[in-house]
Amino acid sequence: MAATPPATLYTIVGIFAIADGREEPVPNKSYPIHVYNSVLEAEDNSKIKVHIHNFGPSLLANFTNVLLIGKVIFPLDPSIVPTIISYKLAPFPGNPSARGYDDYIPSFGPPFIMATGHVSSPVRSTGSEPRSFSMTASTWNNGAPHASSVMCILKNNACWPRAPPLPLRSPLSVVGPACGIIDKHILAISLADTATNLAHLDPILAQRASLGGQPRRKFLAHLKDDEPSSSTPTNVSPVASTSQVPLISSQIDLPPTSSPTFTPNNVPDHSQSDVLPYVTPIKKPRRKPLTKAEKAAAAAAAAIMNTTDPLDPSLFPPPAAPKTPRRKAPAKSVPTLPLMDPVAASPPQQMESPRKRRKQSNP
């Protein structure tokens, strides 16, 4: 089986105005494609003509604005018009010939580029100008890869500290807006984020090397007294992509990771592995002991299943006699004494007059 030619990613997202739609046949296909003319405008207002290929049910009207996601082919020959092959093309509603059609289209800015390829030139710096380096990306189309050159720009701002250059032919993934067009066939990207050292990514640890000092931050997330200690372990694993430090030198080596070995009994030995698998222990449920009634019922059921005559009355225990409720003893009668009127029982008392009481108090 022949090896597949290498191909990487070169994707674009943006809003384009299309016109002059036409159908073109596809080799070895029974359906045509729709080809439109459009213009790619970069951040520095530089423009270049492009062709947009779309597989759609019908042609769209001239000057229709569309949201486009597709792959890019910028040929190395400046005489060939660049091509964008759409993954998704969504036209904005409305009448393109109306006067206020563009007023309802959101401002997207320059197209956004996502490219994965290999570094093809060292980082160049000329004093005050932004640093730049080129990379090669390729797009698979019509059964063959099409190579394109991409210029990556590192602007002189606080987002990109000083970093060592990347080694040549090292894999790299970049994202950012289109900021310019060089020599009419090279698209320049202002890097917003990048992922380096893709060939040595560890799918388990995903560690990255630390470059430079503390990055400058415009906004604070912690006060100086509340900053976490560097020795305090965290549950967040570092990732290989960072918007602060885009470049990794060839002198930095990632920590080696050992893969698990296998014994003759085909049992993995994780004694020398950095990451030990966690096996959840299986707990067996505890069974409650059977009661006497449940044991008797189980024995009767087993006897019925093993006998030839399942209706043998000797197999069934006689029904238990109903328990007679105990009668409560009558309450003992307590002799009651006749009630006596306290007023009637007490001797009559004579009322003393107030004059007699005054005489007794004053002899």
pTM of the predicted model as reported, rounded to 2 decimal places: 0.53
pLDDT for the residue 183:
82
Angle at 125 between CA 119 and CA 126, to 5 degrees: 150
138-178 confidence digits (pLDDT tens): 888 877 788 888 888 887 766 666 656 677 888 888 999 99
Question: Does the pLDDT value for residue 24 go beyond 80?
Answer: yes
43, part of any domain? yes
133, part of any domain? no
pLDDT for the residue 274:
46
105, part of any domain? yes
Average pLDDT, rounded, for the chain: 72
Question: Does the pLDDT value for residue 202 go beyond 80?
Answer: no
pLDDT for the residue 316:
61
CB-CB contact of 178 with 42 (8 Å): yes
50, part of any domain? yes
- For the chain, how many structural domains are there in total? 1
Q: Residue 18 belongs to what domain range?
A: 9-112
Number of alpha helices (DSSP H) and beta strands (DSSP E) in the chain:
3, 14
Which of the pair, 252 or 343, is modelled with greater confidence? Answer: 343
262, part of any domain? no
In the chain, which ranges are E strands? 9-25, 32-41, 47-54, 64-73, 83-91, 112-119, 131-141, 144-154, 171-182, 186-190, 193-196, 241-242, 261-262, 268-269
Q: Which of 95, 78, 91, 79 is nearest to 52 (CA)?
A: 91
Q: How far, in Å, CA of 215 to CA of 230, rounded? A: 15
332, part of any domain? no
> How far apart, in Å, are the Cα atoms of 75 and each of 30, 187, 221, 345?
27, 11, 45, 132
185, part of any domain? no
145, part of any domain? no
Q: Which of 26, 27, 72, 77 is nearest to 52 (CA)?
A: 72
CB-CB contact of 187 with 151 (8 Å): yes
CATH code of 27's domain: 2.40.50.140
